[in-house]
Amino acid sequence: MSKSTGENENMQLLQKGVNAFMHFEFDQAFQILLPLAEQGVLEAQQKVARMYFAGNGVEKSHDQYLYWLQQAADQGDKYAKAKLKRMAKKKLP
């Protein structure tokens, strides 16, 4: 499988996962998005963080929320960076 084929498959999966997320099908969204997040797909990391924060499709976990928020921030996500900065100022874990 070529790199472009793998990237195309990831984009298709990402779209499917985002669609499930937007339609409140969180169990399905999580199953699709977590592997993509683990592969470093930024939008998947953002959605997985939100699901852990709210407990949508997965057990609510502040630690996992912070982990995925940090992963997104490490890739340059401005929202994640700002959120982590605000949390640090408030000294929230």
Q: Angle at CA 38, nearest 5°, toward 25 and 1?
A: 100
Residues 22-52 as b/e (b if ≥16 CB within 10 A, e otherwise) read eeebbeebbebbbebbeeebbbbbbbbbbbb
pTM reported for the whole predicted model: 0.87
Average pLDDT, the chain: 93
In angstroms, the CA 45 to CA 75 distance is 10
Q: Please report the pLDDT score of residue 5 as a whole number.
A: 72
Domain locations along the chain: 3-89
In angstroms, the CA 31 to CA 75 distance is 22
Average pLDDT over residues 21-28: 98
Question: Is 50 exceeded by the pLDDT of residue 1?
Answer: no
Q: How confident is the model at residue 91 (pLDDT cuts 50, 70, 90)?
A: confident
